[in-house]
Every structure is written in structure tokens, then in C-alpha cells.
Amino acid sequence: MSSVTPAPPAGRVRVGISGWRYAGWRGDFYPRGLAQRRELEYVGQRMTTAELNGSFYSLQRPSSYQRWRSEVPDSFVFAVKGSRYVTHMLRLRGVETALANFFASGVLALGPQLGPVLWQLPEREEFDPGVLAEFLAVLPRTMGEALALAERHDARLDGRAWLRIDDDRPIRHALEPRSAGFGSDAAVALLRAHDTALVVADTAGRFPRFNEVTTGDHVYVRLHGATDLYASGYTDAELDEWADRIRGWADGTAASDGRPRDVWVYFDNDARGRAPHDAVALAARFGDAAGAGS
């Protein structure tokens, strides 16, 4: 009998886009004549995930989350971008009511199709250990915790809150800071203690990338542009390099603990319409077409 312990299975790789409603994609990625209301359906036929970005700008409605869920296959998963009221206005301080409103607004209506929740910080937000620790401690880590938090929403959500869940399962969180201090040992230790991914963001060199550390049970990657922020595309060679990094996270060889991780990758270089094409090209390197395994 062999005494060799089998290697743990590699993590799941999902590749998608940050939002899908862009006029410049019509007649290019989207076929000419495709109705706008069918654009998400078209994405769901070609990818396995997408970021919901409208939730960053305002509280959406449960009916919107239900509609989005209905337009894609059951295997499709949405990452949801956290409210900028929490990150940019309150700046992570005193956020319990704002978080309650966010989770009551319909996020939980995604059910099993809810992926990680992304919290993007403004460039001016420096690392403060007390502020970060308090924020991470209040984030709900399961659907049940999110429901309990959502039930504490304020009057703005009266009559329009979604307060039920399909089942009680984990919720993952990812933090995208733009200040180098979040790569410090103290920040990394806090993120690891709260099992929160430090986002790996390619921003054409403008902001720190943070691609040398893994802090959560998953890795979250945002590709904003190789040379021109939000605009430039990725060459085949650059996509190959990213694919190699992603495989390292997925099989554990790029992690200090050797543990495989699920990897979520989103292209945000949408200004010139490159995002969906780059996403399809990178996904093909993993067999991550809609309905396919990684």
C-alpha cells in the first residue's frame, strides 16, 4: 500500500468581466441587433461569472437581482461589488447600518449564485489597523449572518428589503485597496485572520498589485489594463503569463502554505471594448467556457 498522500484537488478557476452593459460592445462583442435586455444572457452563454457593479453606486432592488439570476445558467456565479457608501463615504467606519442596508437590498436573492463580495477602497484610504480590524470583524461570513445583519436595516429599506435565504453557506470577501500599506505584515495578518482575499489588481502600474501574498481561502484578480488603465488589452503572451500565475494559485504552488485555492478573475479594461474578448481568451486556457469545468 502506498504511503503517499494524494495532492488536494486544484481550485476552481472562473474568468469573467466587470459589468456587461457597455454601448461600445454592441456590434463588436455583442452581435449586431442583439437586444440590450439579452446581453447578460449572451454573457452567460460564454462565461461562468461576472461582477455586478451597479451595487457599488447605489442600492439595487431585489427584483433586479432576481432578474439577473434568471438570465444566466444556474452554474453562473456573480461577484457583487460592495457599496461605495461603505468604502468611499464612510471609509469603513461605523458601517453596520450601511452594511445591513446593502445586504437587505437584494444581494441575498442571488442564493447559490452569490460569489465573493468585493470591497474596493479609494486611493486616499491608508491602512489603519484599528479601522480595518473593525470592518473585517463586522462583515457577515455566512448567508445566515448576512440575513441577521440585513434584518437590522433602517427605514430606507422598509417595504423593499429581501430577508430570506436559500440555505446557510459561506460568503467570501475580497478587499481591493490602492495604498501600499495594505501589503504590510500587519495588514496581511489581519486579512488572513479574517479569511479575506487581498485583491491582485493589474492597474498599468498606477496602484500596488499585491500579487505575492495570499490572505484568504480564494484569490481574487482584477485586470484593469496592461499598459493603459481601463483601456488597453492583453497580448497572448501577457495572457499566458497571467494563466501561469493563476494555475499557481489554483494548484497551491504559488501559495506559501501550498494550499490550492479557487481563483476569480475579472477584466475591467472595458473602455475600448477589450474586456470581454480578453476574458474569453483567458478562460479558454482553463476550459472555463460556460458549462465547462476548469
Dump pLDDT digits (tens) for 31-52: 999 999 999 999 999 999 999 9
The pLDDT score that the predictor gives to residue 4 is 53
% the chain with pLDDT above 70: 95
Residues 6 or more apart from 231 whose CB is under 8 A from it? 225, 269, 271, 272, 274
Question: pLDDT class for 88, splitting at 50, 70, 90?
Answer: very high
pLDDT in tens, 188-218: 999 999 999 999 999 988 999 998 889 999 9
The pLDDT score that the predictor gives to residue 222 is 98
Report which secondary-structure segment, H or E, holds 250: helix 236-251
Beta bridge partners of 221: 200, 265
The pLDDT score that the predictor gives to residue 3 is 54
pLDDT of 292 higher than 70? no
**Residue 15, φ and ψ in degrees, nearest 5:** -130, 130
Burial of 14 (0-12, 13-18, 19+ CB in 10 A): buried
pLDDT in tens, 56-66: 999 999 999 99
Residue ranges of domains in the chain, CATH in brackets: 13-284 (3.20.20.410)
Question: pLDDT class for 9, splitting at 50, 70, 90?
Answer: confident
The pLDDT score that the predictor gives to residue 289 is 58
The pLDDT score that the predictor gives to residue 10 is 84
The pLDDT score that the predictor gives to residue 121 is 98
Average pLDDT, the chain: 94
For 242-258, b/e burial (b = at least 16 CB within 10 A) is bbebbbbbbbbebbeee
The pLDDT score that the predictor gives to residue 211 is 86
Question: pLDDT class for 291, splitting at 50, 70, 90?
Answer: very low
The interaxial angle of helices 96-104 and 143-150, nearest 10 deg, is 110
Compute the CA torsion angle 14, 76, 191, 53 (nearest 10 deg). 110
CB 163 within 8 A of CB 104: yes
Reference 266, options 246, 287, 248; nearest CA is: 246
Burial of 178 (0-12, 13-18, 19+ CB in 10 A): middle
pLDDT in tens, 238-288: 999 999 999 999 999 988 788 999 999 999 999 899 999 999 999 999 986
CB 268 within 8 A of CB 222: yes
Reference 51, options 118, 123, 122, 103; nearest CA is: 118
Give the lowest-confidence range in 1-5, 119-123, 281-285.
1-5
Q: Whole-model pTM?
A: 0.95
**Stronger pLDDT, 33 or 5, i.e. the higher one:** 33
The pLDDT score that the predictor gives to residue 212 is 82
pLDDT of 139 higher than 90? yes
Report how far residue 130's alpha carbon sits from residue 138's, in angstroms, rounded to the nearest whole number: 13
The pLDDT score that the predictor gives to residue 293 is 39
pLDDT in tens, 158-193: 999 999 999 999 999 999 999 999 999 999 999 999
3-class SS of residue 34: coil
The pLDDT score that the predictor gives to residue 247 is 96
The pLDDT score that the predictor gives to residue 1 is 45
DSSP designation for 87? I
Q: Indicate left, alpha or beta for 225 from its phi (over 0: left) and psi (-120 to 50: alpha).
A: left
Report which secondary-structure segment, H or E, holds 93: none
pLDDT of 2 higher than 50? no
